[in-house]
A = this chain, B = another copy of it.
Amino acid sequence: MSEPTLFPEGGFLRLKIKLAYDGTNFSGWAKQPDRRTVQEEFEKAFATIVRQQCDSIVAGRTDAGVHATAQIIHIDVPESTDLSDLAYRLNQLLDTDLRVLELEVAPEGFHARFSALRRHYKYQIVDANKVINPLDRYDRASWYRPLDLARLNEASALLLGEHDFAAFCKFREGATTVRTLETFKWERKEDGLLVAQVVADAFCYSMVRNLVGSAVCVAEGRFEPSWIAEMLANRERISESMVFPAEGLTLVQVDYPSHAELITRAALTISRRDEDPENMSN
């Protein structure tokens, strides 16, 4: 796969596409040999319709089992491509666990990954061993202990701001772990479901599931809230056993600046990523 360019090549048009998927039966976004991945399935359908292999660039490279209700990608196509009903035709070809929600010609300077300002995830937990309604079982994680909402929020708030999140990221050679966590807060829905809203400029590999696991440790009383601040400060990797499962995690939104600022934002992102060859991922 060729390295994508900041702008489409001459004679090409950039499409901005919003996708939704149930991650249950995907080995994540990124193409891998002999695995069913979202990228592979999407690009295969796309190639069938436009009759040309096109590489897609994704805003949030979700890990195996992670869902998306509003993933954003871009893809460059020859200007001659017939765009009429393209979203509809793609959905006819794709399996029902992957859908094209929107498809449009991208504004000048748009880059799905580099222009993005921030990514929004949600994480859903059914605590206290409560029974999960079978029709809701795909996008929530189960936890046996009851969780205290105030402590969840107290622990989570300690992580807000720009920090080196090395304690909460799976190690990847050369990838930066400095991120700005803008939102990390929990609410309990009427039916008892716990929902975390997690927003950052970008996330390191497995970061949301690490953050959730750490907040849960505090909420159930295994550690005091100060523990989470210490882990952050010491950049001491939390135990793998605390990491929460992929099934509870959903990418729900990607923010971009106004059209006028798209190129500036992309240039800024690129200038900051000299030590970050990998895309963020969860």
Contact = CB atoms under 8 A, between A and B. Distances in A.
Nearest to A139: B135
A224 B20 CA distance: 38
B97 A131 contact: no
Interface stretch (A53-61, A98-106, A173-181): A98-106
Interface string A44-82: 000000000000000000000001010000000000000
Copies in the complex: 2
Interface string A215-259: 000000000000000000000000000000000001000000000
A74 to B, nearest CB: 19
B99 A132 contact: yes
Q: Which of A101, A129, A138 has the largest number of chain B CB atoms within 10 A? A: A138
Contacts of A131: 20, 91, 99-101
A64 to B, nearest CB: 16
Contact of A134 (B99, B132, B134): B99
Nearest to A137: B96
B99 A22 contact: no
A133 interface: yes
Contact of A97 (B100, B137, B250): B137
Interface string A1-35: 00000000000000000001110000000000000
B134 A21 contact: yes
Interface of A: 20-22, 67, 69, 88, 91, 96-101, 129, 131-135, 137-139, 250
Given A97-B134, A135-B138, A135-B139, 15 more contacts: A20-B134, A20-B135, A21-B134, A22-B134, A69-B133, A69-B135, A96-B132, A96-B137, A98-B134, A99-B131, A99-B132, A99-B134, A100-B131, A101-B131, A135-B250
